[in-house]
Chain A
Amino acid sequence: MASRTKTVSIKKRRRVRSIAYFDYGLLAIVMLLFAFGLVMLYSTSAYMATLEYEDSLHYLKRQLLASALGFAGIVGLNITGYRWLKRFSGLFYFGAFILCVLVIFIGTAQGSSSRWIYFGPLSFQPSEFAKLAVIIYLAALVADSAKSLRDWHNVVRAFFHIVPLLIPVAYNNLSTAVIIAGIAFGMLFVASPDYRAFIVIMAIGAIGIVFFISGVGYRSDRIDVWLHPEKYEKGFQTLQGLYAIGSGGLFGKGLGESMQKLGYVPEAQNDMIFSIVCEELGIFGAICVILMYLLLLWRFMIIAYNARDMFGSYLVIGIMIHISLQVILNIAVVTNTLPNTGVTLPFISYGGTSVMFLLFEMGVAMAVSRGIRLE
């Protein structure tokens, strides 16, 4: 592919440079993960969807609808390019902040926290938008002030730019706040040669987490449930997820053969979907999925290296850190390596807003890849 592009680029050098490269590898991996995600989502949710909605396709249909919007975003971003995002980075950030504050007051609750805003039949989770907004905002920030970040004081200062957004997000959804903080931390880490800044940030972060855990009752429960899931009623989901993983064996029970999805793992199509992947496809299938993510991250790294400008490069770095954090946190929760928090598995878990913004992010990465100059 590269050689073909090369010969073409020699002939029409000026035009080709801007449009000839496109990371088909990235597209292939995204499509593969996305398709695999739909298959697993259907397998996992069909039984309960039939019971609750008398429609085995209930969850699949909604996921496809959100995905359609996501793919429209991919096409749009590839046409418009990514550079305009920089101009609106402040607006995105401000918009995300407003929505995250708004959801506290007008949001619809599922469980103890209200996380959704409804527009008629459509629901929208502002915290998913906040992740993308933070990536764009920080990428713009780093691109504009790369040199000043050599001073670690400025790195810490840059990190505090996102704190106003973190507060309303953390109020509702600690795990998303942790991911946003992680994204910011990672992006600034890559940008700064001075590690002292991160010792300071980590110290502040540690204090913040301790404060949060002791301050909010239900979160400290989670620690107890994490350590002894069998002793608590709330450990049921974790425990059933572990049963699913353990019973899968090396190659699993076969696609569609999970027994745990029949109502034992609550809402198996959401955060716990990886346990059903393990049950149906075994350790082998789980490793394949993890390798797919590694390949995806590898493509991001290549694009980030070769991006035409700092803004594009840091956009992709942000996306890469976002996806790695979600995958790691999700699998860690499912295997009870970390306390239970609601983190979805990118492309596979059910969640309209989540999959839509993930696809937007892929669109951004593809747009960045199109700007790569090959010499």
Chain B
Amino acid sequence: MQRNLWFVYMVVCVLFVILIARLAYIEYSSGEKYERIILAQQQYDSQIIPYQRGDITDIHGTVLATSVDVYNVILDCKVLNANADKIDTTLAHLSECFPEIDTGKVRTLLADDPKKQYTVLAKKVSYEEMSEFQKLYDDDKTAKEVAGIWFEKEYQREYPYDSLAASMLGFTTSGNAGMSGLELYYSQELNGTNGRSYGYVNTDNNVESAVIEPENGNTVVTTIDVNIQTIVEREILAWNKQYESEDSPGSHNTAVLVMDPQSGAILAMANYPTFNLNDPWNLKNVLTKEERKQMSEDEKMDALNERWQNFCITSTYEPGSTFKPFTVACGLETGKLSGNEAYYCDGYEHIADYDVKCVNRNGHGMLDIRGALGQSCNDALMQMSYVIGADTFADYQRLFGFGQRTGIDLPGEARTDTLVYNRDQLTHTINLATNSFGQNFNTTMIQLASGFASIVNGGTLYLPHVVDHISDDAGNVVRNFDAVVQKKTISQETSEQMKDYLRSVVASGTGAIAGVDGYDIGGKTGTAEKQPRSAGNYLVSFIGYVPQKNPQVLIYCIIDVPNTDDQAHSNYAQSIVHNVLQQILPYMGIEPTEAVETAAAEQ
């Protein structure tokens, strides 16, 4: 017996040694590998909490673009299967709250993949719909009937005014990436930082959870005034409706810019045609079905891109007569013109084999500077340009900002440096002469408007801007965009004299239609013949300001190729300006200065 007992004990010892060897072997051969596997299989269960992209508002805080929370409906098969008695009631509640969810499909999901913990059943349901279901969990009675459904928060960009200021605001694509306009330019300011909730194993090996709250994006407060913008867009649309025909819209493009000449702040910026920000990829309203069918994807994309353009910033054109004040201001400022000159207009100038015609083919006869601007006489302006000379003209053209980007805080501003003549090119008389009345060089609306603002505000060229300030989630101002003075263009005296002339244009010249009774509006008309000249297409425009003393509002309207047989009249643009001013001046609290006088005259 003793021998056998010893034998058994020895066998046990040998087996123990074998097992120790086995342990050591496991550790030696795959210890490091298993350690890595263990760390890798830890579930930290982290979940992103999305930030809310900031709003874009107008100057008074009216929301133009915002992110609203929407919810994805998530099914956790594991949890719902674990509560098998709740499946029927849960599905009943689901189909009641979210009719778009197919409960048959949910049942197959539960059966096919019983352990899957994340399946999106419905996307982007509203807060109201979500909370209706969420209430079931909170109610003691219904809480026993639901399980395995939860909601994932997401934000969706919404534009309460649909197409209002569409091209200026721009829109975003998925992931809060700005596509155009302010949404693109201030995308980083608008975006915040995602938060995160996660579990981790602490030093005591307890799983703890922590939440890093998301940082919401900043709010961009623009200088735009929704009321002014609305009026402007309404008038643009009304005009185009009036002139549209069956096969053609009212104009190729119509655009209006309203700004504060004392700061460069943009009050309204609109163009026609436009698009719906809540549905920017929709070409239905732009093109007919046949047209869309024939188009390739690239062509469709081009059509969309064209539709998203912000005309005031991205398009260049020959300004025409609205440039004439710049030529005159240059002459007066440099002393090349005194204001007492008189010019004889015979209807054309003969320069280097060309007859450069005036508006009035028969000639305006004798005109002073006031008359030249008032009648928009090309002949007189050409004669002035000879006096001014190529060098001075070129210098002042640049001083007013032509040929350079203004630096407005919007993306896609057109380059114009190759679209204006330099000193050498201007030594050719024909170039200088045609430039003097705004032909043969290109500009953008924002360029001309900010330059014009400096003529009427006493000679200060402000940086045009559309954002007033940026505030954080809590409403504290993070960054302020004060008026930035860029240059001094002309003296106060020249400015006063120019305003005097420009007032006459509206009071008794070609700009009479733009005038509003009681207001001392000054301005300049423009009727530019488009390239190719033989096509007979025109870009008509009007730029004006009010009041005469210390102007508060500047308005610039262009109509590119109005849909009429007789295009060459600035009246079209003037009528839009007239209608807009008539509404916005009382709204802005600008007092009529000539009420008594006009009333008396009418009597």
CB of A335 within 8 A of CB of B26, answer yes
Known: A247-B31, A262-B207, A328-B16. A191 touches B41 (CB 8 A): no
Interface residues on A, range: 35 or more
Q: Are B20 and A247 in contact (CB under 8 A)?
A: no
Interfacial residues of chain A within 213-255, with CB under 8 A of chain B in the complex: 242-250
Q: Report A-chain residues with C-beta under 8 Å of the C-beta of B6.
A: 301
**In contact, B205 and A246 (Cβ under 8 angstroms):** no
Q: How far is the CA of A190 from the CA of B30 in the complex (A)?
A: 40
Q: Are B19 and A332 in contact (CB under 8 A)?
A: yes
Within 8 Å of chain B (Cβ to Cβ): is A180? no
Contact A259 B34 (CB under 8 A): no
B14 to chain A, nearest CB (A): 10
- 14 CB contacts below 8 A, A to B, read A186-B8, A242-B30, A244-B38, A245-B23, A246-B27, A247-B38, A249-B35, A256-B205, A259-B38, A287-B23, A294-B16, A297-B9, A301-B9, A327-B16
Residues of A within 8 A of B (CB): 47, 186, 189-193, 242-250, 256-260, 262, 264, 278, 283, 286-287, 290, 293-294, 297-298, 301, 304-305, 313, 317, 320-321, 324, 327-328, 331-332, 335, 337
> Helix, strand, loop or mixed for chain A's interface?
helix
The reply to whether B23 and A335 form a contact with Cβ atoms under 8 Å apart is yes
Closest to A287 in B: B20
CA distance A278 to B206 in the complex (A): 20
Q: Which residue of A lies closest to B207 (CB)?
A: A262
- Bound together, the chains give a CA A255 to CA B38 distance in angstroms of 17
Contact of B19 among A258, A264, A328 (CB under 8 A): A328
Contact residues in B for A258 (Cβ distance below 8 Å):
205
Question: A246 touching B41 by the CB < 8 A rule?
Answer: no
Contacts of A278 in B (CB 8 A): 23
Judged by a CB distance under 8 angstroms, whether B15 is at the interface is yes
The 7 closest A-B pairs by CB, nearest first: A246-B34, A247-B35, A243-B34, A324-B12, A190-B4, A246-B31, A331-B19
In the bound complex, CA of A331 to CA of B16 (Å)? 9
> B24 in the interface, Cβ–Cβ < 8 Å?
yes
Report B17 CB to chain A, min CB distance, Å: 9
Known: A286-B20, A324-B12. A242 touches B4 (CB 8 A): no
By the criterion CB–CB under 8 Å, are B27 and A248 in contact? Answer: yes
Task: Report the separation of the CA atoms of residues A301 and B4 in the bound assembly, to the nearest whole angstrom.
Answer: 11
> Which listed residue (A192, A247, A304) contacts B5, Cβ 8 A?
A304
CB distance from B152 to the nearest CB of A (A): 24
Verify B12–A189 contact, CB threshold 8 A: no
Contacts A287-B20, A297-B12; is A305 near B201 (CB within 8 Å)?
Answer: no
Asked if B37 lies at the interface with its beta carbon under 8 angstroms from chain A, I say yes
Which of A190, A246, A249, A286 gathers most chain B CB within 10 Å?
A246
A283 B27 Cβ-Cβ under 8 A: yes
- Determine whether the beta carbon of A257 is less than 8 Å from that of B8: no
Residues of chain A with a CB closer than 8 A to B27's CB: 245-246, 248-250, 283
Give CA–CA (A293, B13) in the complex, Å.
Answer: 10
B116 within 8 A of A: no
> Which B residues lie within 8 Å of A290 (CB)?
16, 19-20
**A244-B26 Cα distance, complex, nearest whole Å:** 10
Asked if residues B26 and A246 are in contact (CB atoms below 8 Å), the reply is: yes
